[in-house]
Amino acid sequence: MPGSLYVDAGQDLGAISPLVYGSNFGPRFGVIPLSVKPQAITAKLTYLRYPDGNWGDQNDLDEYQIDQFIKMCREMSIQPAISVRLRGGTVQSAAALVRYANVSKGYQVQWWSIGNEPSLYSDFDTVRYNQEWRQYAGAMRAIDPTIKLIGPDIHQFTANASANPKDKAGRDWMEEFLKANGDLVDVVSIHRYAFPRSQTSGPPTIEDLRANSQEWDAIIPTLRAVVRQYAGRDLPVAVTEVNSSWAANTGGDATLDSFYNAIWWGDSLGRMIRQGVSIVAQFELISEWGLMNTFEVRPIYYVYRMYQNFGSQLVYASSDEPDVTVFAAKRPDGTLTVMLVNLGPDSLVKSLKLAGHNPSGPAQVWRLDATHNAEQLADETLGEKIALPGQSMTLLVIP
């Protein structure tokens, strides 16, 4: 049926990783400002990478910063992830951080990474990086054999192999890492910022973002194939830094602080969930790229409020409408949740077919659009058609 939306609740596609609702945070803020701390808590993030960005390869973490970070994560019920300094750091200092956090203090930090975006280091090539990464990994594991290592956190990855980061000798950063360290790494990680496309181009447009989110349906399968080929085994994959733009930009129709950036992220995150990504950490909690600044939340924050009501067991969903994406999941009690993202500018009325689920009553309706910030609307008895405002996210919670 042209333009139809379809959900088969009987077609189970597996558990959704709880760590896809993550972000990044850094010591430059110390702690979350009191003005936005309640909102940070109610975002119900599940994973927080620390320190954010290149701060960790320009500075040494100290014990006080670790203590403050763990305290914050415990207050927010978030799993902490720590990145040790590689460029300018030492194997001994990395091992000492693991010893302090997990032996001396008993913080039981499970997730660790080594360096940030080595593919941008001017004084490293893949050979040096892979040798040093392995030395760090061995020393850190010697302190706590239970830690999980994430890497290589390269600065970009796409489905186009020729466009992916290469060192000065033309060696592919991801491929070489997997060949050298695919036996040690637990989760294979990338970063992705699609815009600006060059150092001189401006921020994306709405049209750019509308066409972009579908790239995840190619990026993640490509990454899995590369992992299988060069590591010789399947491994979980992670996107540990991601946003629409690597350059700070505000005030536009599709800039980091825009409403449309939120709609783009709602669709992108849903596609990564559908592709079975294990960890997704948006960049970042507080900053120009953030879910919030130091005074107020941004529209992208409400994407997490929408997904709080999403189920935990993915089921099959599809759409024949180019501008509408459908994601569906069940809750443990059998409730069906259906997320519908309309990337287009126009309101649409579409047929919605449910298989494998008989509603026992009206559906809850949650909406993120230009006039609703992840708000619950009146319950709706589902018929053959569903109305979707332009540039919106709609969540149906169907008993």
- State the average pLDDT over residues 106-114: 98
| Angle at the Cα of 5 from the Cα atoms of 225 and 268, rounded to 5 degrees | 45
Number of helices and strands in the chain (H, E): 9, 17
List the structure tokens of 55: 């701060």
Nearest Cα residue to 94 out of 60, 131, 58: 60
pLDDT digits (tens, 9 = 90+) for 27-75: 887 778 899 999 999 999 999 999 999 999 999 999 999 999 999 999 9
This prediction's pTM: 0.97
| Angle at the Cα of 257 from the Cα atoms of 209 and 199, rounded to 5 degrees | 60
pLDDT at position 238 is: 99
Fold classification of 313-398 is Immunoglobulin-like (2.60.40)
Domain limits, the chain: 17-307, 313-398
Judge whether 17-307 and 313-398 match in fold: no
Cα dist. 241→41, 100, 119, 121, 197 in Å?
20, 26, 14, 17, 17
CA distance 379 to 51: 42
Q: Check pLDDT > 90 for residue 309.
A: yes
Taking the chain, what is the end-to-end CA distance rounded to the nearest angstrom? 26
The CB density around residue 108, as the number of other CB atoms within 10 Å, is 12
pLDDT digits (tens, 9 = 90+) for 275-303: 999 999 999 999 999 999 999 999 999 99
Cα dist. 195→191, 204, 208, 251 in Å?
13, 6, 9, 16
pLDDT at position 3 is: 59
pLDDT at position 28 is: 80
Cα dist. 98→6, 110, 186, 316, 394 in Å?
48, 10, 17, 41, 43
- If phi > 0 it is left, if psi is from -120 to 50 it is alpha, else beta; for residue 170 that is left
Q: Check pLDDT > 80 for residue 270.
A: yes
**What's the mean per-residue pLDDT of the chain?**
96
Check: CB of residue 43 under 8 Å from CB of residue 301.
yes
- State the average pLDDT over residues 215-236: 98
Check: CB of residue 45 under 8 Å from CB of residue 392.
no
Name the amino acid, one letter, at 169. Answer: A
Nearest Cα residue to 282 out of 247, 320, 229, 244: 244
pLDDT at position 182 is: 98
DSSP codes, 198-233: SSS--PPPHHHHHHHGGGHHHHHHHHHHHHHHHHSS
- State the average pLDDT over residues 237-254: 97
- The correct CATH number of 17-307 out of 3.20.20.80, 3.40.190.10, 3.30.365.10, 2.60.40.3710 is 3.20.20.80
